[in-house]
Structure 1
Amino acid sequence: MIGTLYFFALLSSTPALGGLSQWSELSAEIMAGSGGADFCSCDAFLPSSTFPLKDLVMVEQTAEQIYHKLEMEMGKMEDYEIKMTQYAERIIELTTDIEILEKKTDTNNDATLEDLEVKIKQVEALIKELQLSFKSSTTVFESLHQEITLIVETLDQMEKTHDRNLVLLTRREYIKIQMELEECERRHQELFNPNIGSCAHTGIIKVSKPIVSQLNAHLSSGYIYGGWGKDSKPIRDRESMYWFSGDSGAYINNIRFYTNYKNLVLRTPFLHHTMPNQWRGIGSNYIVRDNTLYYQNYIPFGLAKYNFTSATYESRVIPGASKTFSYAKLSYQIFDFAADETGLWVAYTTDESNGKMVVAKINEESFGIVEQWQTSLYKPSINNVFMVCGVLYAVRTVDIQNEEIFFMFDTKTRQEKQISILFERFQDKYSNLDYNPTDQKLYMYNDGYYVKYHLWFNHTTEATAKPLMVQNPI
């Protein structure tokens, strides 16, 4: 006698997976063998691409480890704040003591001076200790970002090839960790560098490791043209807003807006705006400022802006601007918009400059050029430029892993010089690299990935190096 039984079994997940589950169909056939012996033969028919439960368990375990490290760093931040308050109070006391001694010179004696000298050296030692602690925390932050980057890549791959809903549960945990890491770094930066918005420095001295959020909203590394970031002059109640626009081609077709970082990572925009055909742009070097998209116009060739509040469009033609010269790795990068602490800028070449970069200041109300400067920078030899405090910085490739900020031009002094600040690339090519003055970060759109960098500045009273050459404005 042959009987056939078909049944389904639900494979429950481990507790670490938060109740996730997977179905598989099993077929069991009960057969009567020779000699009257019955036996049971079971075959499992699983999908051709089973869900990688072990990988997801590993991801969640790693998340717990990262979260523990982050909690420890948050505790250190509180200690740093207490210590800095105490040190500031001691410095104030020493300053008062010194002022009293200066006024009453007749009462000065060697014992008093020696006592003050000892106290000053003690405070100096405490400050050096705190500086080392800061450096240690910075190293930990970079390590955590690298760990998160690897996990984000794993989640992106799993989301493209498996059930997205299963992956989203774990991704939300990583979003929470990323946001808390951002907050911890923000507090760290405020303690170490409370001068966001200030230009009281002589320039960039260091760039962090790449901080990778994830693959773009299309989940496609083929969308190499595009950009992302924050509004450099956000309107009220939009301070936390992020934007993204990307495509496999060079045209600017649409742009997405997200209320905050969490919704950016979850790919849930509150506005998805499609550009009208007659206002469509080209290239990738666009920015969002004051809820307005500044971009390169297709027809007529020139500058364009579209305000999302008023739904109004405006364009400008720049006489003499050249269509010939683009950046080294991508075509159609003719006009490069930038924003910094001093306002709105655009960089390009002209027919007369023969490929050398021109930087121009834009009046945001009239959308006209206020002033422009000629540099010695040959555009086809570089990858991108950005502005910080009225200074143009240029970036080029050094090797398969590293980029270099190698050139700066100060529009205030009309001086330029060679520098060398190395930083890592996440992927090979990038189409958009812009500085945002609201958080002093660089935002890079890197082969479809959202990547950003922290910047450190030299907060001294005067420049540490002489310029190599001087240029006059056009």
Structure 2
Amino acid sequence: MAHRLLLPSPIVSQPSLIRTLPSAFRPQPSAKVLSIKCHLLMKGIRRGPDRFWDDEDYVDQDASETAWKNDDPILEECLWLVTKNASGIITGKDHCVCEIVLPDSTFPAQRVTALEDETQRLGNRVEEEMEKIEEQEIRLESYLDRLINFTWRLERLEKMRPEDLVDINFGLLREDLQEMERLVIELKAKLKGNATHVENLYTEVKNISKIVGLLETMDKNNVLKAQRDMDILKKKLLDCEKNLKAIKTPVTIPLGSCQHRGLARIGKPNIIQWKGVGYKSGAWGKDSAWNTTRKLMYWVAPLNVNGRILESVRVYSNLYDMQLNRSAFNIPLARFMKNKWNYTIAGQGSGMIVHNNHLYYNCYNSRDMCRINLSSLVTQRKTLINAVFNNRYSYAGVSFQDIDFGSDERGLWVIYTTEENAGKLVIGKVNVATFNIDNSWPTTQLKSEVSNAFMICGVLYATRFISSKQEEVFYTFDTKTGKEVRVSIIIDKISERVQSLSYNSNDRKLYMFTDGVLVSYDVALKA
């Protein structure tokens, strides 16, 4: 708080005498008298702001206190001490106005408010850090998969190629490998960075705790409230550290095992390739048969522009070739014969899947199941008895997906509907040896309410549309127990329509084809 002090003219008429008088020539009063005079002067200043001080303010004191005099050396010394760091202006002939800042002892409510705001901010930062850690862990696994693939390709090609061709053919590959190594190192650094962020949050908590300690003597109630908020924040930070450690812990459920309690969550979308406006519908993935020997093979089955007919399937030896759309083995399913197209072994809809080197799909314009060996190109077809077809009971939002194939740890499945089941989902277990349906399970879930479905360990997981950016796994059916359960597991997506969605037990991922974009998701199971 600033108080204005008017000093008599004999003292300040020559301010330089007060501020520059050498200490050797200034009067040297006794410490007691100087203390009394300064005390009286400061006591007078404390009486209130905007006060004009005159001689009578210091009269009638006891014998040890000298009366006010303009030339009193003791008061000159006291005033010199008070005003040596204060600036003043002369008003009139004999007064000088000085401003002296005196501390305000009232409770700093603004600092308490700032403390609460800072606590809220720290809480928000904790949530943001958790989301970053989860996203970066998923990205790290993806980068590591790509790095392993690059390394395998390099070792294989170096063994196959002559020495004089290695440097020519491997330059680009080595650059890609170095780039992947850089990305992995950078992502690991980011994970460590998140751990540092947690430590920084602890440092900020300690700093705020010091502020709480200062405020405690001023307002006990507000300090206790702030302390409770700090305890909550510290608990969140401890949970953050636990979750960070849990993320780094290897998955305890082995691949191929069904000793778990089902789907826990689905990771963030990982975009693999953009196919373009000419390929809005279709499916893609890897060989989904458990423990297949073709774990590096990828396939893409785009439908034609009308979103119905499957005319060909493309097979790639690895992910890198698929991303560059090179070295594809193209298998035609429609043939141009006698000036017209023959669709005898063509397919329809996006419900296809590759299982044990065979592509399974719905035969064109029929309720038949078709399969083709991707090596020998031998085809087979079997009628799916009582199944409806030709877009009568497709998934919501997509066309001609009346028959949808799925694969998991327990084998090959087909998801369809029948007239007898009134448009509700039916699950069939496919015997790959005989190409027959060994068993089927009718459900109570209408297919028209489902946007897509997939199988994990004999359990059907059905999804539905939430928004242009999200799908929800909302329904499950266990073929082992016949139990139906309502759940809520969100899937983030990058486009509105989901043309196909399938699970692969070899890498525990979901593969989605959405408006021409190839997307994969990591899957977490409940231990």
Distance 1:174 1:366 in 2: 44
User: 2:207 matched to 1:204?
Assistant: no
Q: 1:375 aligns with which of 443, 453, 478?
A: 443
Shift of residue 420, structure 1, vs aligned partner: 0.4
Letter in 2 for 1:202: R
Letter in 1 for 2:264: I
Letter in 1 for 2:442: Q
User: 2:305 matched to 1:241?
Assistant: no
Q: Which residue of 2 aligns with 1:464?
A: none
TM-score by length of 1: 0.58
Distance 2:183 2:321 in 1: 15
Distance 1:435 1:389 in 2: 10
User: 2:338 matched to 1:272?
Assistant: no
Deviation readout 1:196-215 (Å, 9 max, x if unpaired): 11101111111101111120
User: 2:345 matched to 1:292?
Assistant: no
Shift of residue 228, structure 1, vs aligned partner: 0.7
User: 2:368 matched to 1:302?
Assistant: yes
Question: Structure 1 residues 322 and 205 mapped into 2: Cα distance closer, same or farther (>3 Å)?
Answer: same
Shift of residue 145, structure 1, vs aligned partner: 10
Secondary structure at the residue paired with 1:380? helix
Distance 2:181 2:511 in 1: 16
Deviation readout 1:325-375 (Å, 9 max, x if unpaired): 111111100100000000000010001111100001010010000000110
Secondary structure at the residue paired with 1:191? coil
Identity %: 33
User: 2:508 matched to 1:452?
Assistant: no
Letter in 2 for 1:298: Y
Higher strand share: 1
Report if the CA contact (8 A) 1:224-1:430 is conserved: no
Deviation readout 1:411-439 (Å, 9 max, x if unpaired): 00011110000121111112110000111
CA RMSD of aligned residues (A): 3.3
Report if the CA contact (8 A) 1:224-1:448 is conserved: yes
Distance 1:285 1:189 in 2: 36
Distance 1:349 1:339 in 2: 18
Deviation readout 1:229-252 (Å, 9 max, x if unpaired): 100128975220111011323111
Shift of residue 190, structure 1, vs aligned partner: 8.4
Secondary structure at the residue paired with 1:321? coil
Unaligned segments of structure 1, at least 5 residues: 1-132, 148-168, 460-474
Report if the CA contact (8 A) 2:424-2:444 is conserved: yes
Deviation readout 1:383-412 (Å, 9 max, x if unpaired): 101000000000001123111000000000
Unaligned segments of structure 2, at least 5 residues: 1-128, 144-171, 192-246, 335-342
Secondary structure at the residue paired with 1:278? coil
Question: Structure 1 residues 189 and 313 mapped into 2: Cα distance closer, same or farther (>3 Å)?
Answer: farther
For residues 433-472 of structure 1, what are the structure 2 equivalents within 5 Å? Answer: 433-459=501-527
Q: Which residue of 1 aligns with 2:403?
A: 335
Distance 1:242 1:404 in 2: 27
Rg: which structure is higher?
Answer: 2
Q: Which residue of 1 aligns with 2:136?
A: 140
Shift of residue 448, structure 1, vs aligned partner: 0.3
Q: 1:385 aligns with which of 453, 474, 497?
A: 453
For residues 82-121 of structure 1, what are the structure 2 equivalents within 5 Å? Answer: none
Q: 1:345 aligns with which of 396, 413, 421?
A: 413
Q: 1:426 aligns with which of 489, 494, 516?
A: 494
Q: Which residue of 1 aligns with 2:432?
A: 364
Letter in 2 for 1:331: S
Distance 2:473 2:181 in 1: 27
Distance 1:308 1:144 in 2: 32
Shift of residue 138, structure 1, vs aligned partner: 2.9
Equivalent residue pairs, number: 302
Distance 2:316 2:448 in 1: 34
Letter in 2 for 1:380: S
Distance 1:234 1:257 in 2: 19
Shift of residue 274, structure 1, vs aligned partner: 0.9
Distance 1:310 1:235 in 2: 21
Distance 1:250 1:228 in 2: 16
Letter in 1 for 2:279: Y
Distance 1:332 1:205 in 2: 30
Shift of residue 222, structure 1, vs aligned partner: 3.7
Distance 1:382 1:178 in 2: 41
Deviation readout 1:120-145 (Å, 9 max, x if unpaired): xxxxxxxxxxxxx9987433245789
Report if the CA contact (8 A) 2:416-2:427 is conserved: yes
Shift of residue 452, structure 1, vs aligned partner: 0.8
Question: Structure 1 residues 269 and 378 mapped into 2: Cα distance closer, same or farther (>3 Å)?
Answer: farther
Question: Structure 1 residues 376 and 139 mapped into 2: Cα distance closer, same or farther (>3 Å)?
Answer: same
Secondary structure at the residue paired with 1:239? coil
Q: 2:180 aligns with which of 174, 177, 182?
A: 177
Distance 1:178 1:357 in 2: 46
